[in-house]
Structure 1
Amino acid sequence: MQPVKFKPILKQTIWGGNKIAKFKRVEGHDDEQIGESWEISGVKGNESIIANGPYEGKTLPEMVAEMQDRLVGTENYKRFGNDFPLLIKFIDARQALSIQVHPDDEKARQQGMKNGKTEMWYLMDSEPYATLRCGLKQAITPEQYKEMVADTTICDAIAEFPVKADDCFFIPAGRIHSIGKGCFLAEIQQTSDATYRIYDFNRRDKNGNLRELHTRQAAECIDYNVQEDYRTEYVPAKNQGVSLVQCRYFNTAVYDLDEPMTLDYSELDSFVIIIGLKGEATFTDNEGNATTLRGGETMLVPATTKTLNVNGEIKFLETYV
């Protein structure tokens, strides 16, 4: 079966900007403060709709239920069943998002959720002033954390980074974090809504109310260890895959191609997601199916695919479980 694309799910937010509509070439949405484009989602109530091929018009969960291991891989289907394991987004932050933390699988299930959330960010063409927060920069106890939330000094304990295109951050469950003003990025995460809001800069919603904070729940989830640097360090290279993140939830690499290349998946027991960042190329699978992908588009490659021949000039993320 050929790779499939999906109709984007565009999310208007109070902090959203105007980059996503142009990036994805979606007409009529330029001034709508689109904060997120959900590219591939099996989240209940936000299921992606297939945009091409024989499954056009069906939802991602319907496709998983029908194709099963042929779509996601044998071990993945044993592990996740009909739940698609990854959620892919583009995020454009005109304003800073709230300070958050996500529980791990064990703590999430204790709270009645299916699983926790580990994620990663890959920065695209952000504003010159863009920053984000990731990880603690000083040692604090859970009690000190609660006190700092109460007196609005919690940001003093969190590492803040100026960011630019091609920066990468891995955010395992438990790592405190926040997307800052001016960031434009791709996000790869476990399929989960397990989020605890720590601090929201005392902003009010459209009804004038402060948004709910989850101080107690977050205190139980935070990883209080301090690291020297939370960036993902890697050396960019042309015409080869450069590994960014390897964890039990996803493996991600970045490719920057200006010559033909064959991606070999013959030994991989997983679906593959290709996230277009810049440029355009044709991806031809081992059955001769050709799919054009350009920056701002995302496609899902079934686990039955053995090879993809890439022709064109394109930069993209490749991720699989």
Structure 2
Amino acid sequence: MEPLKFNALLKSTIWGGEKIIPFKHLDVQQENVGESWEISGVPGNETVVANGEYAGKKLNELVHELKGKLVGEANYQRFGDEFPLLIKFIDARQDLSIQVHPTDEIAKRQGKERGKTEMWYLLPSDADATLLCGLKQQITPTQYAEMVENDTICDAISRYDVKEGDCFFLPAGRIHAIGTGCFLAEIQQTSDVTYRIYDFKRKDKDGNYRELHTKQAAECINYNVESNYRTEYTPEKNQGVSLVQCPYFNTAVYDLDEPMTIDYSELDSFVILIGLKGEGTITDNEGNVTTLRAGESILVPATTETLKVEGNVKFLETYV
């Protein structure tokens, strides 16, 4: 079974910029595209297969049809017909709201399907781009609520200057916000549960303040303080460099300028490749040939045993 590409869902937002369409080499007219949902099984926002014998099918339809052959036997037992990861590109022309996501346990307690753990990998961003991630001082839930009310909550959160190649892991409970000028790839659990803590007193196009979820968020925040929330790693050419390993996804970055064969014969999972830079040719063990270039995301079925990658290409690899 050949690797699959999908028709991305482009979403215009009040904070969206102009980086995503050229990055993806698309010939479309759409303004303020804040997000491109690359591979999604979120109900109501499922991506559709763009190539091959399954073209036109929604992702979760395909999971239902192919089961473990597509996602891996253990993953199918764990997640059923819903694809477990959501892949996005995000372009922030303005600050996004300060948010937190619940753990699976808290989400179920609050009547939601599951929580959300995610990660960010920075693409070429503005020179002055920053983001917020994690508490930098000890505060209590009571102090948190007071700081939201008196507009000082940002004072308690670590701010980072960011550049291409930076990586941040955001386990459920870690307070965060994407800042102005950030352009990034996001890998997350299939979940759209977001609690908006603070939105800088901004109003929407109709003059209304956006809804905040201060009370629900208070239950979700991890109040532990760490010295560094940035994922530290050493870039290497022509090998996979691990970025994140967690119960929901494992992610590595590859920066190749010589051919490499990646062995998945012992892996009981689908693999997603997210193009960051350049262009390459991917040949699987069945002889199927696929191109991967910056701005493209490819779903490799669990039945695939090896991939030979050729070209000058940089990409993220993620699987469950």
TM-score, normalised on structure 1?
0.99
Partner of 2:26: 26
Partner of 2:86: 87
Amino acid at match of 2:2: Q
Query: Where in structure 2 are the equivalents of 1:4-19 lying within 5 Å?
Result: 4-19=4-19
Q: Structure 1, residues 36-90: CA drift from partner, whole Å, max 9, x if none?
A: 0000000111110000011001100111000000000010000000010000000
Partner of 2:242: 243
Query: Where in structure 2 are the equivalents of 1:1-321 lying within 5 Å?
Result: 1-29=1-29, 32-321=31-320
Consecutive aligned runs of 4 or more in structure 1 exceeding 4 Å deviation: none
Is there any run of 5+ residues in structure 2 with no aligned partner, and where?
none
Q: Per the alignment, in what secondary structure is the counterpart of residue 107 of structure 2?
A: helix
Note the C-alpha offset of 1:27. Answer: 1.4
Q: Per the alignment, in what secondary structure is the counterpart of residue 53 of structure 2?
A: coil
Task: State how far apart, in whole Å, the 2-side matches of 1:263 and 1:296 are.
Answer: 21
Is there any run of 5+ residues in structure 1 with no aligned partner, and where?
none
Q: Per the alignment, in what secondary structure is the counterpart of residue 253 of structure 1?
A: strand
Q: Per the alignment, in what secondary structure is the counterpart of residue 54 of structure 1?
A: helix
Amino acid at match of 2:288: N
TM-score, normalised on structure 2?
0.99
Figure out how many residues of one structure are paired with residues of the other and give that number: 320
Task: State how far apart, in whole Å, the 1-side matches of 2:316 and 2:76 are.
Answer: 23
Q: Structure 1, residues 285-307: CA drift from partner, whole Å, max 9, x if none?
A: 00000001100000000000000
Task: State how far apart, in whole Å, the 2-side matches of 1:35 and 1:132 are.
Answer: 16
Amino acid at match of 1:5: K
Amino acid at match of 2:315: F
Cα RMSD (Å): 0.5
Amino acid at match of 1:279: G
Note the C-alpha offset of 1:28. Answer: 2.7
Note the C-alpha offset of 1:112. Answer: 1.3
The sequence identity of aligned pairs, in percent, is: 72
Amino acid at match of 1:218: A
Task: State how far apart, in whole Å, the 1-side matches of 2:140 and 2:27 are.
Answer: 49
Q: Per the alignment, in what secondary structure is the counterpart of residue 197 of structure 2?
A: strand
Amino acid at match of 1:94: R
Task: State how far apart, in whole Å, the 2-side matches of 1:293 and 1:122 are.
Answer: 18
